[in-house]
Every structure is written in C-alpha cells, then in structure tokens.
Structure 1
Amino acid sequence: MCIEFRKVSGFPRGTICKLLTDAYSFDERMVQCWGADWKEFDDFFYDNLQIADKYGFITTLNGEAIGMVSWDPRNMPEYAAVGHNCIKREYKGRGYGKMQLQEAVNRIMKCDVKKIIVTTNAGLLPAQRMYESVGFKKVLMRKNDGIAEFAGDNIDYEIIVDEYAGKTIR
C-alpha cells in the first residue's frame, strides 16, 4: 500500500469533480444540490494550477486518485479555511481521510496561520469524528436554512495553531 499526496496538476481536468461526486453519491440530493459547484471548483483549480498545487492536493493509493482536499488562503494569516475534503466511497472508513486531513493541517500550519477552520454538516457523523480526531474543536452549531436543509445543521470547527503546536498526529 502506497499513499501519496500529489499535485493537482498531475491529474486531468475533471478529477476533482469526479472525486467529489463519488464521495457524496451516497445521497443523490447532495449531487443534485452541489454538483454544479463541484464542476465550477474543478474548472477554477484547473484554470489556476499554481493555486491548486499550493492550496490543495490529491491523495493517491498505489497511484489511483482516491481523495482530495483544498483550503482557502485568502484570510491568512488570521485563518485558513479547509474547503473541499473528500475520499471516494469505496475507500472510506480505512483512515485515508484522516491521513489526508492531517497532511493538509500540517501544510497549512507551515504558513504561519493563527487558526484553521472548517464547516461540516451535522448529518455527516464520520466527517465530524475525523475532524475531531485530528484536533479540531467544535465552536458553533448553526441552523442550515439554505438550499441543503436535508443535510442538517452546520457545525463550525477550528484549530488554534498556538494551542495545537506539537500535537501533530501521524
């Protein structure tokens, strides 16, 4: 088994959209709700590979793309926001998501950021457990009154980097 975190530029356009679609296809409503956004995000990253390669990566297992993660640096050094973060359905529950997220946190922390934030849905229990296992702390539960109410309320998490220093989990 060989896990690697590789540059987005090493994969063809559409890879990110396919990964996100696969990861969330357990609920067709998610694909219907966010599929166009995933395509738009994929297009943005592939139109701006210098951004994609600096603020995201694709996780591979034996050379196959199985997941991806990205983060938004526009508010650094105050905070970086974890954006899309997914693992293909057939690889979930094997620890790959945690390894991928930990790698992202490690990379973000090298940017001298004060805080790392992420939001997930209350209905995604495995995502909550993963974020908490890497060191994110729940800071706020917000009512989801948007187009995806079926997904449950939103949960905001954060890592305060000064408090986290030295706690890197591998």
Structure 2
Amino acid sequence: MNVEFRKVSDFKRGILFELLKDAYSFDGRYEQNFHSDWQAFDDFFFDYLQIADQYGFVTTLADEVIGFVSWDPRKMPEYVEIGHNCVASKHKGNGYGKVQLQEAFNRIVQNDVRKIIVTTNDDLTPAQRMYESVGFTRDQQRKNQNSEDFVGEYIDYVYFLA
C-alpha cells in the first residue's frame, strides 16, 4: 500500500467536490441534497488554503487521488468534529478510509483535544463499522432535518481522549 497524505494546496480547486460527488454516487439523493454544501466546502478550503492544509489532507495511492479527510477545530479543546472522511468509489472496501481516519486521528490528538466527534448516516453501514472498529462509540441517533424526501437518520459517534 503506497498511500501518501498530501496538502490540499497541492491540488486544484474542485477536487474535494469531485471526490464527494464520486464517493456518494451510489445514491443520487446525496448529490441532490448536498451539492451546494459540497461546493461551498470546496470553495472555502481553496479560498483559505492555510486552513485546508492544517485541518485536512488529500490521500493518494501511487499518485492517484483516492480520498480526503477534514476536521473542524473551532471547538477545541472540548472537541474536534471530523467533517468528511471521503474515499473514491473504486477504492472503497480496501481499508483506505480507515487508514485515512487513523492519520487524521494522529494529527488531531496532538492538540490536547478531549474528544473527537464524527457523524454518518444510518444507511452507511460500512462507515459505521469503520468508526466502531477504531474505537468510536455510538453517541446518539437523530432525525435528518435537511430534507424530508431523503431517507435516513444521522448517527453521531464519539471518541473520548481525556
């Protein structure tokens, strides 16, 4: 596994949006509901590359972009929230999400944070298994308030550090 974690600033604007679009392409409702959020996220990171490089990274495999992870540090030291842990469709199921998550975890814990929070959807069973396999515990399940036509609830996971 020749995985490398690179700065977001090494890539062109739009790469994060395209990765999210691809990663969720198995169900068109994700793009319908989150298209503008994904675009705004990509725009923010590329407008503020210093933030992007400090609170996220792009994962490559033999120089091919296969995913990225990002986190929100604004509530430190109480907690950090992982925003995206995205892996391209053709690379899912190979453990790259877990490797990427572990690298993010290693970077986050250097900041004396008390806990790490991550949220996923109840229909994303592989993500749930991955978070649980690295020590996150299910904290709560809550209704999706974003769209009435989008099936699924959110599941919040937490990893306590202190």
TM-score range, shorter chain: over 0.9
- Name 1:87's counterpart in structure 2: 87
- Name 1:45's counterpart in structure 2: 45
Q: Where do 1:41-120 residues align within 5 Å? A: 41-120=41-120
Q: Is the 8 A contact 1:122 1:151 kept in 2?
A: no
- Name 1:154's counterpart in structure 2: 154
The C-alpha deviation readout for 1:5-58, integer Å capped at 9, x for no partner, is: 110000011010010000001111111110111111000000000000000000
Q: TM-score, normalised by structure 2?
A: 0.96
Q: CA RMSD in A?
A: 1.1
Q: Where do 1:124-139 residues align within 5 Å? A: 124-139=124-139
The number of equivalent residue pairs is: 162
Separation in 2 of the partners of 1:59 and 1:125? 22
Q: Is the 8 A contact 1:33 1:148 kept in 2?
A: no
Q: TM-score, normalised by structure 1?
A: 0.92
- Name 1:29's counterpart in structure 2: 29
1:8 aligned onto 2:8: yes
- Name 1:140's counterpart in structure 2: 140
Separation in 2 of the partners of 1:34 and 1:138? 24
DSSP 3-state at the match of 2:35: helix
Separation in 2 of the partners of 1:23 and 1:4? 19
